Structure 1
Amino acid sequence: MRPKPPKTPDDYVELQQGWVRHYVEYLREHVQAAAAVTETLMWGHLVYLSDGPVLLIRAEAKRVLFAFWRGKRLQEVAPTLKPVGNYEMATIEIHEGQLPSPAVIESLVSRAVLLNKQLGNPQDVS
């Protein structure tokens, strides 16, 4: 029997296990400390909004993805951000033992929020 999909961000975290859950909780705490963002559940994972989507946290069995819609512009803060997909997306692939520091997380989040404030919703087609 498949587990029910999560309905809230808290449900999403509750479904995680072991180090993955710990890392999701850690990222979530530092994201929320860095800036006024709205946390929601979209596309099956945690998404943080401020003038449009800013970042996501996606838990998988052996990694946690920490991705930013304007991440290509943030690579000087975290060279581990790898460009992927649409928009200006870039992702940090986190494995056990590889957590970014609170200072890096908070710098990434605050700069990403500022970019959305300056440039608007990254999903808007110009």
Structure 2
Amino acid sequence: MRPKPPKTPDDYVELQQGWVRHYVEYLREHVQAAAAVTETLMWGHLVYLSDGPVLLIRAEGKRVLFAFWRGKRLQEVAPTLRPVGNYEMATIEIHEGQLPSPAVIESLVSRAVLLNKQLGNPQDVS
């Protein structure tokens, strides 16, 4: 029997196990410390909003994805950001033993929030 899908961000974290859970908790803590963002559950994972979506944290088996809607503009902060998908999305694929430092996380988040403030919701770009 499949577990019930999470209804809240806390439920999402509770469903994770082992190092993946620890990494999700670590990222979540530093994201929330970096900027005033609204945490929600969208598309089955954690999403952080400020003038539209800023970033997501997604646990996938043996990796955690840490992705930014305007991540292509943030690659000088974290060269491990890889462009993917729509908008200006870029993702850091995190495996066991590869956590970004608090300083990198906080720099990425604060700059991403500032970009949304300056440029608006990245989903509104046509």
Q: TM-score, normalised by structure 1?
A: 0.99
Alpha-carbon deviations, 1:56-92, whole Å to 9, x = none?
A: 0000110000000000000000000000000000000
Q: In 1, distance between residues paired with 2:96 and 2:125?
A: 37
Which residue of structure 1 lines up, in the alignment, with residue 7 of structure 2? Answer: 7
Which residue of structure 2 lines up, in the alignment, with residue 87 of structure 1? Answer: 87
Q: Helix, strand or coil for the counterpart of 1:123?
A: helix
Query: May I ask how many residue pairs the two structures share in their alignment?
Result: 126
Shift, 1:125, TM fit: 3.1
Q: In 2, distance between residues paired with 1:125 and 1:77?
A: 23
Q: In 1, distance between residues paired with 2:34 and 2:125?
A: 28
Q: In 2, distance between residues paired with 1:12 and 1:23?
A: 13
Identity value in percent: 98
* Cα RMSD (Å): 0.5
Q: Is the 8 A contact 2:87 2:125 kept in 1?
A: no
Q: Is the 8 A contact 2:72 2:83 kept in 1?
A: yes
Q: Write out the 4+ residue segments of structure 1 that deviate beyond 4 Å after TM superposition.
A: none
Q: In 2, distance between residues paired with 1:97 and 1:125?
A: 36
Which residue of structure 1 lines up, in the alignment, with residue 104 of structure 2? Answer: 104
Q: In 2, distance between residues paired with 1:78 and 1:113?
A: 16
Which residue of structure 1 lines up, in the alignment, with residue 71 of structure 2? Answer: 71
Shift, 1:112, TM fit: 0.0
